[in-house]
Amino acid sequence: MKVTLFITCLVDQLCPNVGVSVVEVLRRAGCEVVFDERQTCCGQPAFNTGYRNEAQKFAKRFIEIFEESEAEAIVSPSSSCTAMVKHFHELFPDDENWRERAEKIAGKTHEFSGFLINSLKIETVGASFKGRVTWHDACHGLRELNLRDEPRSLLKNVKNAEFVEMPNADVCCGFGGTFSVKFPEISAAILDNKIEAIENSNVSAVVSGDASCLMQIGGRLSRLGSKVKPMHIAEILASQD
Amino acid sequence: MKMAHLTSETFDQNARGTLQNVQLRGALRKLAATFGERRRTVLATSEDWESWREQARQIKDETLVHLDSYLEQFAENAENAGAQIHWARDGKEACAIVLNLINEQSASKVVKSKSMATEEIHLNTALEAAGINPIETDLGEWIIQLAGETPSHIVVPAIHKTKNQIADLFVEKVGIELTEDVDVLTRTARKILRSKFAEAEIGISGVNFGVAETGTILILENEGNVRLTTSLPKTHIAVMGIEKVIPKFADLDVFLKLLPRSGTGQRLTTYQSLITGTKRNSGDEGPEEVHIILMDNGRSKMLAHPVTRQSLACIRCGACLNACPVYQTVGGHAYGSVYPGPIGAVITPQLIGFGKAKQLPYASSLCGACREVCPVKIDIPELLLHLRAEITEGTANGTERRKSAKRNFGERLAFSFYSFAWSSPTLYKLGTKMARLIQRPLLKNGRIGKVSGFLARLAPPLGAWTAWRDAPAIAPQSFREKWRDELKAKGKS
């Protein structure tokens, strides 16, 4: 299957290895992978902060670029950015043409772990990783894209890895986009509950499907000098230790 | 710490106060765990949960679209049953009607059962200003009335108070000897409240549902104080938000399944009082006069747009509060509103205006836990986003332009610049390169640690982020650079 990447600005600039891992896993799964270098950001920060005009500009740009692709699927290593694409149509309340185009693009856009399981019907990708791992549900993956079992079953199939479910894995890490800097104290207090659950799980890595959650969780783990490594699910699946 | 007079305007400061309060944070964590667990337990054996939610939402949607005619039908049928209907445009009018009714009867002894609508309009304050001291008869409400505070949760109003604090309060205000024996404390409250009921001339209540078909009001409770408030005094005054009306008596069925399960994890509350007008015959029990005040107070404005209209489907169960990580962290008082938590963050700005509550729609990480638990499927994140757009742009999806909050020029400028620069791959790439240079002096082990002082003032988000969290560095080679250098070619080999 031909797949075009929606890599997201966070992955592009802050954790490019996540993107490299995505490419590797998709190729291992037999996909032809392409990447359109004109892409930048989906506009989620603007949409979530209330700047709809700005968000609309990003949405139009995104739709135009990805409409040109011949690929059957648009795959992204971020559940919140994928969810944003699914929200694009809301930005065109009075424009049926753009709304239809937005819905068409949304229908082709998939989050990485969901794509592997639900579109490619692949449960195992030949990964191996030595260590105990746990999963943090990114809110948008869980509650907008309904991905609960998909990432877990992929993790359980990683050779040599021991998967443990941590308490309140489905509770928010406190990131919330601009929320994290508008109300940093509240964001950090919510985050500390997550950190406590991670540390008590005695894992070597906490895995998630959104670079933004990993930035939040990883930023605190790093500040506290923790040994737990924040990892994107693509990184674990690409790993062949 | 006294928290009675916090306002929505200072949400961030109020929240900081809660974060320092270890005792309160413990109580909130316990609340979330206990109520979450109770709800999950009862839902585990409610197989039809999803279809009930769907059905309830359909009833609410249908009612709200034709609210005017259902209200008229309700008023007519309630009057036919002997109740008197009063219409109040806002809280001030509603309070004036209540006060007038009390004065007409030359009454002074007033009991009240728990009601969010009367909290919303600060009825007690209005009555006290006129020399009437209404007695709250719900145990939690009575406790916070004694303490001179406001509710911090819409179902469990005194959740912020510990057993020790309540014991001390009883010593100070009731004059009993110090005891932490819950039985003794509740028995004391019961004894005092029974005497208040016995002498009460007026009983004031809220309303959970008003049935248009019959003019009946339904009130749910667990303590029996609503039953006494609405049946012992000669006069019963019910304050009812106009969104509480539902079309048919049979519609109560689904709401009676949803509300107790969502609110307290019960299959059914201990009491359900169905009140249709006054007592029929002189020998019967029940009030001689029943007054129902149908109150708008900002609600009809929410009807105008399909997105904001959802706010009126709320049945005040409190499930979204219990599920919300922000509510669990900052508590109810921080919201500075009688309606806290996710639903409070959407209702409050619509009731009191953006100017006074513009922080509230932003006081959410948009995690969606509220939407997941809502028994009437209100898409609270959608509403929050809608209100945020109204705040920044004055209107959203063609809503009538509201008197907007003061613009945040710095933020607007930042978003305009971001949308301009990042719409161009060239500028985007240039930005990445510049950021790599700028971050250089800040990097330590490949990460950015705490940024403070001048730099934090120059870039407030960076200061706010790094106060608690290290920030990741812009990678030496971006994904697109890696793609061009090696990845692209590998795919072709």
pLDDT band at B493 (very low <50, low <70, confident <90, very high): low
Task: Quote helix, strand, coil % in chain B, to nearest 5.
Answer: 55, 10, 35
Which residues from chain B sit within 8 angstroms of residue A184, using beta carbons?
Answer: 464-465, 467-468
C-alpha distances in Å from residue A129, one per residue of A79, A159, B104, B336: 23, 6, 79, 49
The confidence score (pLDDT) of residue B304 equals 87
The confidence score (pLDDT) of residue B399 equals 65
Judge: B465–A184 Cβ closer than 8 Å, yes or no. Answer: yes
Is 70 exceeded by the pLDDT of residue B406?
no
Judge: A188–B469 Cβ closer than 8 Å, yes or no. Answer: yes
Mean pLDDT of all residues in chain B? 94
Q: Which long-range contacts (CB under 8 A, 24 or more apart) does A84-90 make?
A: A84/A42, A84/A43, A84/A44, A84/A47, A85/A6, A85/A42, A85/A109, A86/A144, A86/A145, A87/A47, A88/A59, A88/A62, A88/A63, A90/B397
Task: Quote helix, strand, coil % in chain A, to nearest 5.
Answer: 55, 15, 30
Give burial (CB, 10 Å; 0-12/13-18/19+) of B183.
Answer: exposed
Interface check for B460 against chain A (CB to CB < 8 A): the answer is: yes
Measured in angstroms, the CA of B203 and the nearest CA of chain A are apart by: 41
Report the candidate in A9, A18, A127, A120 with the shortest Cα–Cα distance to residue A77.
A18
- Check if the beta carbon of residue A236 is closer than 8 Å to that of residue A159: no
Window 216-275 of B, Cβ < 8 Å to A:
none
Report the candidate in B193, B257, B248 with the shortest Cα–Cα distance to residue B220.
B257
Instruction: List, in sequence order, every residue forming a beta bridge with B293; answer none if it has no partner.
Output: B86, B239
Please report, rounded to a whole number, the percentage of residues in chain B having pLDDT higher than 90.
83
Q: What is the pLDDT of residues B339-367, one digit of tens each?
A: 999 999 999 999 998 889 999 999 999 99
Is 50 exceeded by the pLDDT of residue B3?
no
**Token digits for A95?**
């424009």
Q: What is the pLDDT of residues A30-50, one digit of tens each?
A: 999 999 999 999 999 999 999
Tokens 């007409």: give the residue: B104
For A194, the closest chain B residue by CA position comes to B325
Of B329, B432, B470, the CB nearest to A189: B329
- Check if the beta carbon of residue A216 is closer than 8 Å to that of residue B325: no
The confidence score (pLDDT) of residue B397 equals 63
Report the alpha-carbon angle B254-B224-B316, nearest 5: 40
The amino acid sitting at B362 is Y
Q: What is the pLDDT of residues B117-158, one digit of tens each?
A: 999 999 999 999 999 999 999 999 999 999 999 999 999 999
Q: What is the pLDDT of residues B216-244, one digit of tens each?
A: 999 999 999 999 999 999 999 999 999 99
Q: What is the pLDDT of residues A221-235, one digit of tens each?
A: 999 999 999 999 999
pLDDT band at B1 (very low <50, low <70, confident <90, very high): very low
Please, what is the end-to-end C-alpha distance for chain B in angstroms? 69
Judge: A190–B447 Cβ closer than 8 Å, yes or no. Answer: no
The confidence score (pLDDT) of residue B2 equals 41
The 3-state DSSP class for residue B424 equals coil
Which residues from chain A sit within 8 angstroms of residue B481, using beta carbons?
Answer: 16
For B389, the closest chain A residue by CA position comes to A50
**pLDDT, greater one: B58 or B280:** B58
| ipTM of the complex in this document | 0.96
The confidence score (pLDDT) of residue B405 equals 53
Measured in angstroms, the CA of A117 and the nearest CA of chain B are apart by: 22
Is 90 exceeded by the pLDDT of residue B474?
yes
Is 80 exceeded by the pLDDT of residue B311?
yes
The confidence score (pLDDT) of residue B72 equals 98
Q: What is the pLDDT of residues B50-85, one digit of tens each?
A: 999 999 999 999 999 999 999 999 999 999 999 999
Q: What is the pLDDT of residues A177-224, one digit of tens each?
A: 999 999 999 999 999 999 999 999 999 999 999 999 999 999 999 999
Judge: B15–A185 Cβ closer than 8 Å, yes or no. Answer: yes
Judge: A52–B372 Cβ closer than 8 Å, yes or no. Answer: no
- Check if the beta carbon of residue B23 is closer than 8 Å to that of residue B162: yes
Interface check for B408 against chain A (CB to CB < 8 A): the answer is: no
Please report, rounded to a whole number, the percentage of residues in chain A having pLDDT higher than 90.
100
C-alpha distances in Å from residue A38, one per residue of A4, A6, A61, A101, B80: 12, 11, 9, 19, 70
The 3-state DSSP class for residue A23 equals helix
Which residues from chain A sit within 8 angstroms of residue B436, using beta carbons?
Answer: none
Write the DSSP assignment of A188-215 as a string of letters.
HHHHHHHHHHHHHTT-SEEEES-HHHHH
Average pLDDT over residues B275-282: 93
Of A13, A27, A181, the CB nearest to B461: A181
Is 80 exceeded by the pLDDT of residue B492?
no
Window 19-78 of B, Cβ < 8 Å to A:
19
Q: What is the pLDDT of residues A82-137, one digit of tens each?
A: 999 999 999 999 999 999 999 999 999 999 999 999 999 999 999 999 999 999 99
